[in-house]
Amino acid sequence: MAYRSWLECVRGCEARHSIFDVAYQCETCGGLLDVRHDSEALKDRSTAAWMQLFDRRTRTTEWPYGSGVWGKKEWVCPEVRNENIVSMYEGHTNCFWAERFGRELGIEDLWVKLCGNSHTGSFKDLGMTVLVSVVKQMIADGKPIRAVACASTGDTSAAKVSTAQLIQPIANGALVLALDADFDGCMRIVQQIAQDKSVYLANSMNALRMEGQKTVAMEIVQQFDWQVPDWIVIPVGNLGNVSALGKGFLLMKELGLIDKLPRIACAQAARANPLYLSYQTGFREFVPVQAQKTLASAIQIGNPVSYERAVKTLAAFDGVVEQASENELSEAAARADRTGMYACPHTGVALAVLIKLVDRGEIKHDDSVVVISTAHGLKFTDFKVGYHEGTLNEVIAHHRNPPVELPADYDAVQRAIDQAIAR
Ligand SMILES: *Cc1c(COP(=O)(O)O)cnc(C)c1O
Ligand SMILES: [Zn+2]
């Protein structure tokens, strides 16, 4: 059976494109495009057979199926030839049982999907492998693509903001242009650059990214022995990732692998909260905001490209949107760290929102909850150092743990240890 996918308008216009066309928006209405799969063809395998296949491939070394993304190739990008796949075997990240943090909040069934335990230290790997592989095939097939370009707050290009983020594309030989603009400003310019169709746009308005990122939904369900959690809490900025998450669940439901959907809670930084403000109006109004500087730099976005996609997702998943202040996100991350995590500021936003939703009884104590941790804490060392030095703006750090400075003296060391243990 030949599996097929194509691009179509998120607003339901008729026109279709090949996934190998350089197209990001609907020519009729200007809406974004999404990849659609021939789900009738995918029904040629039983749900049990799909589950078995996916489970078997999580342990395989056979190229490229050991990748968390390419292990689901038929559902992700069936048309790409294996020789064109560019993969670091991304995905298969641990879903961590946050037993201690959960106990503090009174939820036993709390899990953190550690998407930052990956090559670039963020979930962006999942989408990029698909996009770059498709571009490789386009070039192999004679399409005149000269370059791939993206605007980034840091993780998309793997640029600016934290040194750990900026250095990755530099090391890998990318041309890194540091513009005197915020993400929204960079996004406007890169869209203009990509009007030249030989420069392929790699931001998440590009539907191919969603296809890789949606595998996080499959992985979560697989990690729960094909059970669906009650809630997923996810930090959001440009709103691509939450839309991808939703796509993953909807495809599993359509193909019968699951029979219910989780509820989704979108977590925004209060300093960059256009979705939250729109949610307050019941999504009747959407006003882009000027994003203010936030520690959660990867979600410092005021005009999210995938707004429409996300609103559809929230409707399908009985979703909620909540926000977190700089103090709330920092404190939540620090509390989580005290229980063994090493949370990046975006994960801090999600954890702070989790705390609010539990406090107001929206998330119940016996609900099962998965928090999406979008990046590794090690990419945000300045955030951690600033917290423990007590130098972050607007943050009152209750969990500071500065090092104790001592002379090189046995008695002084012994006393310090005794005092700490006695506390
Ligand atoms: C990209 C990113 C996000 C936000 O994802 P969107 O698709 O822009 O909503 C959140 N956290 C981290 C660490 C990211 O890199
Ligand atoms: Zn359209």
Percent of the chain's residues with pLDDT above 70 = 98
- The pLDDT value given to residue 384: 97
Question: What is the atom index within ligand 1 of the atom nearest the CA of 310?
Answer: 9
Question: What is the atom index within ligand 1 of the atom nearest the CA of 243?
Answer: 7
Q: How far is the C-alpha of 370 from the C-alpha of 102, rounded, in Å?
A: 11
Which residues are CB-neighbours of 329 under 8 A, at least 6 positions away? 269, 295, 296, 345, 348, 349, 351, 352
Q: How far is the C-alpha of 384 from the C-alpha of 157, rounded, in Å?
A: 22
Summarize pLDDT for 123-136 with one digit per residue, the tens: 999 999 999 999 99
Question: What is the atom index within ligand 1 of the atom nearest the CA of 346?
Answer: 11
Count Cα neighbours of 281 within 13 Å in the Cβ-side half-sphere. 10
- The pLDDT value given to residue 183: 87
Cβ atoms < 10 Å from Cβ of 141: 10
Q: How far apart are the first and last CA of the chain?
A: 66
Please state the φ and ψ torsions of residue 266, each to the nearest 5 degrees. -90, 130
- The pLDDT value given to residue 155: 60
Question: What is the atom index within ligand 1 of the atom nearest the CA of 301?
Answer: 8
Q: If you measure from the C-alpha of residue 252 to the centroid of ligand 2, how many angstroms do you get, rounded to a whole number?
A: 25
- The pLDDT value given to residue 1: 64
Summarize pLDDT for 320-363 with one digit per residue, the tens: 999 999 999 999 999 999 999 999 999 999 999 999 999 999 99
Q: Which ligand sits closest to the CA of 7?
A: 2
Please state the φ and ψ torsions of residue 88, each to the nearest 5 degrees. -105, 20
- The pLDDT value given to residue 407: 96
- The pLDDT value given to residue 165: 81
Q: Burial, 51: exposed, middle or buried (Cβ in 10 Å; 0-12, 13-18, 19+)?
A: middle
**Ligand 1 neighbour 299 (Cβ under 6 A):** yes
Q: If you measure from the C-alpha of residue 25 to the centroid of ligand 2, how many angstroms do you get, rounded to a whole number?
A: 8
Residue having the nearest C-alpha atom to atom 2 of ligand 1: 298
**Ligand 1 neighbour 85 (Cβ under 6 A):** no
- The pLDDT value given to residue 262: 98
**Ligand 1 neighbour 122 (Cβ under 6 A):** yes
Rounded mean pLDDT of 44-72? 96
Q: How far is the C-alpha of 414 from the C-alpha of 406, rounded, in Å?
A: 11
**Residues paired with residue 373 on neighbouring β-strands, in sequence order:** 114
Q: Which two tokens stand for residue 248?
A: 């993953």
* Length, in residues, of the chain: 423
Chain mean pLDDT for the chain: 95
Residue having the nearest C-alpha atom to atom 14 of ligand 1: 298
Alpha-carbon torsion (323, 325, 329, 331), positive or negative: negative
* Res. 366: pLDDT tops 60: yes
Summarize pLDDT for 319-332 with one digit per residue, the tens: 999 999 999 999 99
- Residue carrying structure tokens 């961590």: 96
Q: Which ligand sits closest to the CA of 33?
A: 2
**Ligand 1 neighbour 298 (Cβ under 6 A):** yes
* Res. 159: pLDDT tops 50: no
* Res. 106: pLDDT tops 80: yes
Q: Which ligand sits closest to the CA of 25?
A: 2
Could you list which residues have their CB under 5 Å from ion ligand 2?
A: 9, 11, 13, 26, 28-29, 31
**Ligand 1 neighbour 246 (Cβ under 6 A):** no
* 8 A C-beta contact, residue 299 and residue 272: yes
Which residues are CB-neighbours of 419 under 8 A, at least 6 positions away? none
**Ligand 1 neighbour 377 (Cβ under 6 A):** no
* Res. 110: pLDDT tops 80: yes
Q: Which two tokens stand for residue 146?
A: 């000269």
Q: If you measure from the C-alpha of residue 305 to the centroid of ligand 1, how many angstroms do you get, rounded to a whole number?
A: 12
Alpha-carbon torsion (268, 269, 272, 277), positive or negative: positive
**Which is more confidently placed, 242 or 167?**
242
**Ligand 1 neighbour 349 (Cβ under 6 A):** no
Summarize pLDDT for 217-271 with one digit per residue, the tens: 999 999 999 999 999 999 999 999 999 999 999 999 999 999 999 999 999 999 9
* Res. 5: pLDDT tops 60: yes
Q: Which ligand sits closest to the CA of 26?
A: 2
Q: If you measure from the C-alpha of residue 299 to the centroid of ligand 1, how many angstroms do you get, rounded to a whole number?
A: 6
Convert the chain into a string of H (helix), E (strand) and C (coil). CCCCEEEEECCCCCCEECCCCCCCECCCCCCEEEEEECHHHHCCCCHHHHHHHHHHHCCCCCCCCCCCCHHHHHHHCCCCCHHHCCCCCCCCCCEEECHHHHHHHCCCCEEEEECCCCCCCECHHHHHHHHHHHHHHHHHCCCCCCEEECCCCCCCCCCCCCHHHHHHHHHCCCCCCCCCCCHHHHHHHHHHHCCCCCEEECCCCCHHHHHHHCHHHHHHHHHCCCCCCCEEEEECCCCHHHHHHHHHHHHHHHCCCCCCCCEEEEEEECCCCHHHHHHHCCCCCCCCCCCCCCCCHHHCCCCCCCHHHHHHHHHHCCCEEEEECHHHHHHHHHHHHHCCCCECHHHHHHHHHHHHHHHCCCCCCCCCEEEEECEEHHHHHHHHHHHHHCCCCCCCCCCCCCCCCCCCCHHHHHHHHHHHHHC
- The pLDDT value given to residue 162: 75
Q: What pTM value is reported for the model?
A: 0.96
Summarize pLDDT for 180-198 with one digit per residue, the tens: 888 889 999 999 999 999 9
Q: If you measure from the C-alpha of residue 125 to the centroid of ligand 2, how many angstroms do you get, rounded to a whole number?
A: 28
Q: If you measure from the C-alpha of residue 191 to the centroid of ligand 2, how many angstroms do you get, rounded to a whole number?
A: 18
Tell me: cis bond preceding 262? Omega within 30 of 0 counts.
no
**Ligand 1 neighbour 303 (Cβ under 6 A):** no
**Ligand 1 neighbour 379 (Cβ under 6 A):** no
Q: How far is CA 381 from the centre of its chain?
A: 19
Residue having the nearest C-alpha atom to atom 1 of ligand 1: 298
